[in-house]
């Protein structure tokens, strides 16, 4: 039994040391995200990070993580945009902004990707993506949201 | 050494390795460690890798990027069934409102963000495709009497997106075949046969999701989860939480005579309202401004 306890204690110790020594690293799993000065949906934007960027977690608050970007900038990101997995990009992050229907296979992103979509389109020519592409062009900025909320008397 | 200690040693070593390796496949590391410490035979290690990989082959492996591609095709399939209401001003308003709502959800960023379109049909309906492609019918908008009502409908759909309900509608067998393909794909461009396999899994996934959204509907529990997520969003924004109850009530009445769309795919409104009433608190909700009413009335004029 003593040996068993020693093994358990050793294991717990190892976990504690590892937790202290290694900073928690996360990757951005969406195309891009602002780093905000405060953990809030419309907090001031201090920088922008890109798909696959590895960031170091500095602090946490319900639903949000304060992270340090590869360039050393610190700001808050919603935790749903981060993953513990490392994301390997085949090409630069700039390629992500190309249209999904483009010829370029922009990402190492495995599985369902632009190549699969192109194959799907070829087999289902009755399914029209025109409106989906038009939808994606509709961008609403933070300042627009702020004005909309303010005019509507919202929080 | 007793087997239990050998397992614990293996587990301790695995814990250490997991911290070091971070993103490496834990299943493979675990099996390698077990094998190296003599706790597993090579056959057992192989079996562990296979079974752990099988567990990994679930919807959880669908990354936001893949969800985005699924969402595009699901959206395109919906638009191929319904006509789009082509009105720039109405679409813009819906997107400003909808993208504001999404920012206050627990998942403000999908891979490329939330987008909204109006479907040109009297049918009372709304769809949320993976990745944040959301479609609201003219019939549904007409059922709303205030911006708060429409915000409640949108917040419910955003709830489905953040809870990944559409992705969960994909049959796991499809993902298993897709992920087997992935295992050999690596970071290379896809070969013909692998692409064909993946496209088959992709097509099947689109079918599963659209069939669920348009025919069978989500599970009642999922609708209730989306309702609760909607209340949280409305509360954060300052919209009236009771608006969701109002819309559900009106929907219940309208659908007594019309069983198309929402009526056929959603649980009865009464039971949903009953569950919402105890969690609604509008005592701190700000009073709507005249501008809020005006911009919503402007939308309704064309609808």
- Written as six digits, the tokens of B265 are 């795919």
The closest alpha carbon to A84, from B32, B26, B186, belongs to: B26
What is the pTM (predicted TM-score) of this model? 0.79
Cβ proximity of A26 and A16 under 8 Å: no
Please give the angle made by the CA atoms of A1, B18 and A110, to the nearest 5 degrees.
145
Is the CB of residue B227 less than 8 Å from the CB of residue B275?
A: yes
The rounded distance, in Å, linking the Cα atoms of B75 and A95 is 23
The span from the CA of B244 to the CA of B252, in Å, is: 12
Q: Are B151 and B126 in contact (CB under 8 A)?
A: no
Are B258 and B124 within 8 A, CB to CB? yes
- How many Å separate Cα B285 from the centre of its chain? 28
pLDDT at A98: 40
> What was the pLDDT predicted at A154?
97
CA A137 to chain centre: 20
The residues, ordered by sequence, that sit 6+ positions from B211 with a Cβ below 8 Å of its Cβ are none
Q: Which of B230, B236, B240 is nearest to B292 (CA)?
A: B240
CB of B111 less than 8 A from some CB of A = yes
How far apart CA A49 and CA A4 sit, in angstroms, is 46
Least confident span in A84-93, A96-105, B158-167: A96-105
Instruction: Check if the beta carbon of residue A140 is closer than 8 Å to that of residue B100.
Output: yes
List B residues 244-283 in contact with A (Cβ-Cβ < 8 A). Answer: none
**pLDDT value at position B64?**
94
Residue B260: per-residue pLDDT: 63
Q: Which of A41, A112, A131 sits opposite B108 (nearest CB)?
A: A41
CB contact at 8 A, A56 and A68: yes
Beta bridge partners of A82: A28
Top pLDDT among A93 and B246 is at: B246
Size of interface A-B (CB pairs under 8 A): 200
- Find, among A126, A128, A131, A101, the residue nearest to A116 by Cα: A101
Q: What is the pLDDT of residue A86?
A: 82
CA distance to A4, A83, A128, B198, B241, per residue, from A123 (Å): 60, 33, 12, 13, 45
Cβ contact, residue pair A116, B199, below 8 Å: yes
Residue B97 confidence (pLDDT)? 98
DSSP percent split of chain A into helix, strand, coil, nearest 5: 35, 25, 40
pLDDT at B130: 97
pLDDT at A105: 29
Q: In whole angstroms, how far apart are CA B207 and each of B71, B139, B167?
A: 12, 25, 11
Q: Which of residues 133-172 of B touch A (CB under 8 A)?
A: 133, 147, 162
Residues A54-84 pLDDT 10s: 999 999 999 999 999 999 999 999 999 999 8
Partner residue facing B292 (CB), from A11, A88, A152: A152
Domains and CATH numbers, chain A: 23-87 (2.30.30.40), 99-155 (no CATH)
DSSP string, B233-252: HHHHHT--THHHHHHHHHHH
CB contact under 8 A, A135 and B117: yes
Q: What Rg, from alpha-carbon coordinates, does chain A have?
A: 21
Q: How far is CA B83 from the centre of its chain?
A: 23
Query: What is the rounded end-to-end Cα distance, in angstroms, of chain B?
Result: 76
pLDDT value of position A13: 59
Residue numbers in B near A4 (CB within 8 A): 4-5, 8
Residue carrying the six token digits 């559409």? B166
Q: Does A115 touch chain B (CB under 8 A)?
A: yes
Nearest residue to A81 (alpha-carbon basis) of A53, A108, A103: A53
Q: What residue in A sits closest to B67 (Cα-Cα)?
A: A112
**Interface probe, candidates B14, B20, B23, chain A, greatest A C-beta count within 10 A:** B23
Phi, psi of A154 (to 5 degrees): -100, 175
Q: Of A15, A80, A107, which is closest to B106 when you measure between CB atoms?
A: A80
What is the predicted pLDDT for the residue at B82?
95
CA-based nearest residue in chain A for residue B178: A111
CB-CB neighbors (< 8 A) of A7 in chain B: 5, 8-9, 12
Mean pLDDT computed over A112-135: 95
Task: Going from the first residue of chain B to its last (303 residues), give the mean pLDDT of each consecutive group of 10, the final group possibly shorter.
Answer: 41 33 30 40 52 48 91 97 96 98 98 98 96 98 98 98 95 78 57 85 94 90 96 98 97 77 70 95 96 97 89
Look at A20 and A140; give whichever has higher pLDDT: A140
- The predicted model gives A98-109 an average pLDDT of 37
Tokens 């706790």 locate to B39
Confirm or reject contact between A50 and chain B (CB < 8 A): no
């Amino acid at each position: 039994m003593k040996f068993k306890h020693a093994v358990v204690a050793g294991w717990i110790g190892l976990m504690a040391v590892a937790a202290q020594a290694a900073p928690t690293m996360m990757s951005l799993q969406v195309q891009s995200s602002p780093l905000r000065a405060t953990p809030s949906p419309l907090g001031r934007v201090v920088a922008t990070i890109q798909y696959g960027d590895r960031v170091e977690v500095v602090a946490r608050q319900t639903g949000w993580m304060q992270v340090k970007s590869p360039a050393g900038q610190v700001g808050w990101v919603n935790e749903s945009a981060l993953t513990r997995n490392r994301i390997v990009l085949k090409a630069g992050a700039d390629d992500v902004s190309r249209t999904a229907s483009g010829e370029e296979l922009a990402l190492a992103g495995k599985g369902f990707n632009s190549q699969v979509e192109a194959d799907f389109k070829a087999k289902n020519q009755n399914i029209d993506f025109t409106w989906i592409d038009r939808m994606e062009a509709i961008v609403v900025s933070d300042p627009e949201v702020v004005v909309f909320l303010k005019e509507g008397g919202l929080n | 050494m007793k087997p239990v200690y050998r397992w614990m040693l293996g587990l301790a070593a695995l814990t250490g390795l997991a911290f070091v390796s971070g993103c490496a496949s834990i299943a493979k590391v675990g099996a390698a460690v077990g094998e190296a410490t003599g706790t597993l035979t090579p056959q057992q290690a192989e079996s562990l890798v296979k079974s752990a990989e099988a567990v990994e082959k679930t919807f959880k492996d669908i990354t936001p990027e893949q969800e985005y591609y699924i969402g595009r095709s699901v959206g395109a399939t919906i638009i191929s069934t319904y006509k789009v209401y082509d009105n720039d001003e109405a679409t813009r308003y819906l997107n400003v409102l909808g993208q504001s709502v999404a920012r206050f959800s627990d998942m403000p960023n999908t891979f490329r963000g939330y987008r909204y379109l109006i479907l040109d049909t009297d049918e009372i309906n709304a769809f949320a495709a993976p990745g944040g492609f959301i479609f609201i019918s003219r019939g549904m908008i007409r059922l709303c009497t205030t911006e708060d009502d429409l915000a409640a409908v949108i917040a419910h759909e955003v709830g489905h997106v953040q809870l990944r309900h559409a992705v969960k509608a994909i049959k796991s067998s499809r993902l298993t075949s897709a992920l087997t393909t992935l295992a050999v794909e690596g970071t290379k461009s896809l070969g013909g046969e692998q692409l064909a396999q993946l496209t088959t899994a992709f097509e099947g996934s689109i079918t599963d999701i659209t069939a669920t959204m348009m025919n069978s509907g989500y599970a009642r529990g999922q609708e209730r989860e989306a309702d609760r997520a909607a209340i949280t969003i409305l509360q954060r924004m300052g919209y009236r939480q009771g608006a969701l109850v109002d819309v559900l009530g009106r929907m219940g009445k309208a659908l007594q005579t019309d069983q198309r769309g929402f009526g056929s795919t959603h649980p009865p409104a009464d039971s949903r309202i009953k569950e919402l009433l105890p969690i609604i608190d509008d005592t701190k909700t700000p009073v709507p401004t005249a501008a809020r009413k005006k911009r919503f009335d402007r939308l309704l004029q064309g609808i």
